[in-house]
Amino acid sequence: MRLPTHHPDEALLFGYAGGSLNEASALVLATHMTYCPNCRQVVTDLEVVGGALLDDLDPEPVDDGLFQSLMAQIDANFMPRPAIQASRPPGNGAARHGFVVPEPLRRYVGDDLSLLDWESALPGVRLTPVAMTGADDGSRVQLMRMDAGCTVPRHGHEGMELVVVLAGGFSDGYGAYRTGDVAILHSGSEHAPRAHDDGCLCLAVNMERAAMTAPMDCYLSLMMAR
Amino acid sequence: MHIACPLTGWQPCFPFGTRIPCGGRRIPRVWWRAGKEWLVRRAVFAFNGGMDERQTPAALPAADASVSMDHLLLAVGQAGDRAAFAQVFAYFAPRVKAYLRRLGVDAGGADELVQEVMLLVWRRADTFDPRQSSASTWIFTIARNKRVDALRREARPEFDPTDPLLLPEAETPADHRIESRESIARMRVALNALPPEQAELLRLAYFDEVPHSTISAERGIPLGTVKSRLRLAMDRLRKVLREPV
Ligand SMILES: [Zn+2]
C-alpha cells in the first residue's frame, strides 16, 4: 500500500509526543500514524527528547513516607501484572463493508460505520459527529463521507482544521490527499475540497466554528456547526 | 550550559565545513568527529554527577545513571526486585514531581500523582525493553499519559501496533540509530546546546497546557517563525539520535 505523503507539521508532532495536544488532534495524529511509519519514528525520537527533559528537571523532593506507602499499597492489593491489553480485532463490520476502521478511531466509533447516525449536510456530503471522552474544548470532530466527484463549496475557517483521509481521497488548492494523508488548514485560509473518483471518507477536526465566506454556503456552516 | 570544544573552540551546532568566524577557516572533518566524541564523553561525565551537584539527591546511585537505571528497571521487571525499584523511585519520583509541578499541579496533588505514576512503573516494568527505549524515555511516556488522563481527563489516542491496517516500517539498512541508553546522554547535550528561542518553544510542547496555535498569538511571533524554529529544533535533535560518533 502507498505511504502517506502529507504529514502533520512539526508543532503537531511535538505536541503529540509532549502531551500538550488536545484529544481531537491527537486522534488525527494517531490515525495518521497507523498508516505512516515515518511519523511513528519521529514521535519515538521526540519521546527521547521528553526523557532527556525529564532527566534535566531539578528534582523536587517527594514526601518522606511516599515510597513506604507505595510499597504498602503494592503489598495490600497485590495483583498479577496485567497482560498487555489485547487489541480488539475488527468485527463483522469490516467483513460486511470491506473497510477496516483503524484502531485509534475504532475505540470511538466502533467498526461498522454504517451503524452510525449519518446526516446529509449537502448533496453528496454526509456527516456524523464523533464524541471525545474529555471535556468540550471547542473542537468539533466529525466523520465525513463525500460521494465521488462531489465538491464542498469554497469556505474559510476561523480556527484550524485537521483532516485525515481514511478511504478514497480529495483535492483542494493545497494538494491531493489520499488514505492516511493529513490536511492542515490554518485559520483564515480557504478551500473547496473535491472528492476523488473513488469518493472520500475522512475524519475532520475543527478547532473552532467554521466560517463560510459566501452567504449561500451558510447552510453548510449551520449544518456543520451542529 | 555552554559548551565549547577545548580543541577547536567551535560550538556543536556548526556542521563540518562551516566557516568559523575567527580566520574564516573551515572545520575539517576530523575535528568534527573528535569534537563529537568529546561531546558524548562530556555528556556521560555530566550524567555521572561530575557537572551538576545540585541534581544529586543522597539516594541517587553514583554510577552512570543512564546505564544503571536501565538495568535497575530491568531487574524490577524480570524479578520484581524491590531494592532496584527503591533506586528507580529515588531517582525518578522527584523528577516526575518536578514535571507535574511545571504543569501546574499543586504540591500535595503532585505527590499523589507521583505515586500513581510509580505504581504504573512497578506494574508495567516487565514490558520495559532497553533496546527500544531508555528508562528515562519509558518513564516519561508513562508520566505524560498520566498527565493527559489525570489533568485533562481525556483518553490519549494511540495507534495499535497489531492493527491489521498498520503499514510496517520500510526495510532500511540498520538506520544508524544509536543505542537507547546513549541516546539520553546525547539528547541532553543537544538540548542544552539548542538556541534559546528554539528551546523555549520546545518546552511549551512538553511542559505547558497551551495549544500550539496560540503560542504565536500570545508571544507575538508569526506562525511561520514558530514553525521554522520547531523544524530546526526537530532536525537537529533527531540527527543526534542517528549520526555515528
Ligand atoms: Zn506521517
Q: Is the dihedral of CA B176, B177, B181, B184 positive or negative?
A: positive
**What was the pLDDT predicted at A71?**
95
The phi, psi pair for B102, rounded to 5°, reads -65, -30
Domains of chain A are 1-83+97-226 (2.60.120.10)
Q: Which chain A residues contact residue B166 at CB under 8 A?
A: 34-35
**What was the pLDDT predicted at B69?**
94
A128: exposed, middle or buried (C-beta count within 10 Å: 0-12, 13-18, 19+)?
Answer: middle
CA of B8 to the centre of ligand 1 (A): 39
- Contact between B155 and A133 using a beta-carbon 8 Å cutoff: yes
**What was the pLDDT predicted at A141?**
96
Q: Please provide the DSSP assignment of B60-90 as one string.
A: S-SS-HHHHHHHHHHHHHHH--HHHHHHHHH
Mutate which of B160, B183, B228 to disrupt the A interface (most A C-beta within 10 Å)?
Answer: B160
Who contacts B186 (Cβ-Cβ below 8 Å, separation ≥6)? B39, B40, B43, B178, B240, B241
Q: Rounded distance, CA A15 to CA A42, Å?
A: 12
The three cell numbers locating residue A118? 449519518
Task: Determine the 3-state secondary structure of A211 from DSSP.
Answer: strand
Question: Does the beta carbon of A41 lie under 8 angstroms from any beta carbon of chain B?
Answer: yes
**What was the pLDDT predicted at B178?**
79
Q: Give me the residues paired with residue A194 across strands.
A: A151, A171
List pLDDT tens digits, range A147-202.
Answer: 999 999 998 877 789 999 999 999 999 999 999 999 998 878 899 999 999 999 99
Q: Which residues of chain A have pLDDT under 70?
A: 78-97, 208-226
Residue-level length of chain B:
245
Task: Show which of residues 78-117 on chain A sit within 8 Å of chain B, judged by CB atoms.
Answer: 81-82, 84, 87, 89-90, 100, 102-105, 107
Question: Does the beta carbon of B212 lie under 8 angstroms from any beta carbon of chain A?
Answer: yes
Instruction: Tell which residue, B232, B224, B113, B238, has the closest CA to residue B183.
Output: B238
Mean pLDDT comparison of A16-30, B16-30, B169-183, highest-scoring range: A16-30
Question: Does the beta carbon of B119 lie under 8 angstroms from any beta carbon of chain A?
Answer: yes
The phi, psi pair for B211, rounded to 5°, reads -65, 145
List pLDDT tens digits, range B72-129.
Answer: 999 999 999 999 999 999 999 999 999 999 998 998 899 999 999 999 999 999 999 9
**What was the pLDDT predicted at B152?**
83
> Helix B223-240 to helix B180-192 angle, to the nearest 10 degrees?
140
**What was the pLDDT predicted at A94?**
63
Angle, alpha carbons B111-B115-B116 (nearest 5°): 120
- Contact between A133 and B137 using a beta-carbon 8 Å cutoff: no
Question: Does the beta carbon of A73 lie under 8 angstroms from any beta carbon of chain B?
Answer: yes
Angle, alpha carbons A181-A183-A186 (nearest 5°): 160
Instruction: Tell which residue, A37, A162, A88, A115, has the closest CA to residue B168.
Output: A37
